[in-house]
Amino acid sequence: MTFADLVYWCGLVYGGLGLGVAAAFLVFGLDRVDRSARGSFAFRPLLVPGLVLLWPVVIANWRRLLLRGT
Amino acid sequence: MSAGYKAVSWTRSKILYDVVLIAGIVAYITIFFRFGALPGPDGLSPDAPTLAMKAFGSCGFLLLTIVLAIGPLARLDRRFLPLLYNRRHFGVITCAIAASHASAALGWYFAFSDLPPLKALFAADTSFGQVSGFPFVILGVAAFLILLVMAATSHDFWLTFLGAPTWKSIHMAVYGAYALVVGHLALGALQDARSWVLPAVCAVSVVTLILLHLAAALSQNATDACIATASSPPWVVAGKLSAFAEGRAIVVHLADAEPVAIFRHDNMLSAVTNVCAHQNGPLGEGCVIDGLITCPWHGFQYRLADGCAPPPFTERIATYRLALDGDTVLLDPQPNPPGTYVEPIRVGSPVA
Ligand code: HEM
Ligand code: FES
């Protein structure tokens, strides 16, 4: 496996996991962690790129906000 | 203002801003294609993908330069303030232009490789050791990733979700992105530049940005009333009353705390945090409209006396206590909880 292959596959796996986290967060997470999002749907697709790019941060914050009980 | 994430209301000035921005970009690319296709000194015309790569690359660089210049310009001269609005759109569009550049570059640079371009990118020279062999493309990719994360987190949701300090540091990374792009140019296109245009544009941009930031920093120090000096505790001296102009604010910078904006409106003084509840905009650079402090960035409004947004909006910002000692304005640097009413201090007869 070359360096290029490694970067390529890491990118692919990271992005794939990110898509999963993004879908889960939009369906199950958003309404519980952010009250202003309730009832607004049009803006949700706008969040997808960020959720895919930052999914580890998303999971960490999601957990933190749930534990705090907001 | 938001009472929930409703679509941001499109005002006439926002539409105008976007129209001007996009028209400018279209004009730039068109002109670039018209004149860039002329034969160079070597008698050769660049092919279309090379031209696209250069057009979008230089356009992205210029947009990035402009967006970084807006901040200090607005600080130096309030007439530039309207340019601060909608910097979000500016950033997202810059990211899209950079993406067009990257995809043109990938198509062209690696056209002769049988690997898919994205892979070829990392298979190409990976001699990180020496400066001239350092893959300048990696610097471009890093810069692009920063722009991408910034564009992707520009929605207000991210500000609440990540918290203001994290969000702000993500967006300060635009300076890092700029440095990476300069490196991308210095190690790439500038190494074998056959014309003086790109080196000149690059040098002028970098020098202009540095000078603008220096000038803005100096002028902020010059308005010296801004730096709080100690008085008898808990009070600090905010400045001489004569320094406070009607309808405007003076921003007081405290050690280890958020700056405070002290407004004079209708000859009464009120102090609130300088940090807007929306996206940390500098409230003290805004003005009072209809008796409400109006943020210069996106126009959120707050009442002077209690820092509450007028109904139906729900934002609240911290207020501060003020006192007058002769003609010296004193400030208690301890913030009140957001939305706390503080009686404004009358310093003259009501303005008719
Ligand atoms: C994935 C990201 C990127 C890739 C793969 C990439 C690739 C390239 C390549 C292959 C060149 C040609 C260099 C040469 O002529 O020797 C180039 C030039 C350039 N790039 Fe990038 N780049 C990327 C990101 C960026 C970004 C984010 C900017 C600025 C916003 C930028 C601005 C430029 C400029 C101004 C040039 C010089 C164009 C000219 O020769 O006139 N690039 N880039
Ligand atoms: S209105 Fe957006 S930062 Fe103040």
pLDDT at B113: 55
A33 vs B161: CB contact, 8 Å cut-off?
A: yes
User: Which positions in chain A touch B155 (Cβ < 8 Å)?
Assistant: 43, 46-47, 50
3-class DSSP state of A1 = coil
Cβ count near A33 (within 10 Å): 20
A8 vs B119: CB contact, 8 Å cut-off?
A: yes
On whether residue B6 sits in a domain, the answer given is no
Are B77 and B182 contained in the same domain? yes
The parent domain of residue B320 ranges over 236-346
For the record, the structure tokens of B227 come out as 């730096």
How many angstroms separate the most distant Cα atoms in chain A?
Answer: 48
User: Which positions in chain B touch A56 (Cβ < 8 Å)?
Assistant: none
Nearest to A39 among B4, B151, B155 (CB): B4
The residue with greater pLDDT, B248 or B180, is B180
| Residue B128 pLDDT greater than 50, yes or no | no
B123 vs A34: CB contact, 8 Å cut-off?
A: no
Kindly identify the ligand whose nearest atom is closest to the C-alpha of B167. Answer: 2
Least confident of B30-34, B82-86, B98-102, B285-289: B82-86
Answer for the pair B293, B283: CB distance below 8 angstroms, yes or no: yes
Looking at B223, B248, B281, the residue that finishes a domain is: B223
On whether residue B231 sits in a domain, the answer given is no
- Residues touching ligand 2 (Cβ under 6 Å) are B 276, 278-279, 281, 295, 297-300
Residue to mutate, B85, B87, B295, B317, ligand 2, most ligand atoms under 8 Å from C-beta: B295
CA distance, residue A13 to nearest chain B CA (Å): 15
On whether residue B29 sits in a domain, the answer given is yes
The structural domain count of chain B equals 2
Are B211 and B66 contained in the same domain? yes
Are B208 and B299 contained in the same domain? no
CA–CA dist B79, B296 (Å, integer)? 11
Are B85 and B194 contained in the same domain? yes
Are B251 and B332 contained in the same domain? yes
Ligand 1 centroid to Cα of residue B99, in Å, is 10
For the record, the structure tokens of B326 come out as 């002769």
pLDDT at B69: 92
Are B283 and B178 contained in the same domain? no
Are B172 and B252 contained in the same domain? no
Domain boundaries, chain A: 3-69
Q: Buried b vs exposed e over B164-176: b needs ≥16 C-beta within 10 Å?
A: eeebeebbebbee
Looking at B199, B223, B247, the residue that finishes a domain is: B223
Closest by Cα among B346, B352, B350, B332 to B241? B346
The nearest alpha carbon in chain A to B145 belongs to: A53
Strand-strand pairing, B301-303 and B287-289:
unpaired
CATH number for the domain that contains residue B327: 2.102.10.10
CA–CA dist B206, B342 (Å, integer)? 46
On whether residue B205 sits in a domain, the answer given is yes
pLDDT bin (cut points 50, 70, 90) of residue B191 is confident
ipTM of the complex: 0.83
Tens digits of residue pLDDT in B4-28: 554 445 566 677 888 889 999 999 9
User: Which positions in chain B touch A15 (Cβ < 8 Å)?
Assistant: none
Are B296 and B196 contained in the same domain? no
Are B165 and B261 contained in the same domain? no
Are B209 and B267 contained in the same domain? no
What average pLDDT does the structure give for chain B? 80
Determine phi and psi for A11, rounding to 5 degrees: -60, -45
pLDDT at B2: 46
CA distance, residue A9 to nearest chain B CA (Å): 10
pTM, two decimals, is 0.71
Are B96 and B18 contained in the same domain? yes
Q: Is A4 on the interface with B (CB under 8 A)?
A: yes
Are B304 and B217 contained in the same domain? no
DSSP for residue A41: -
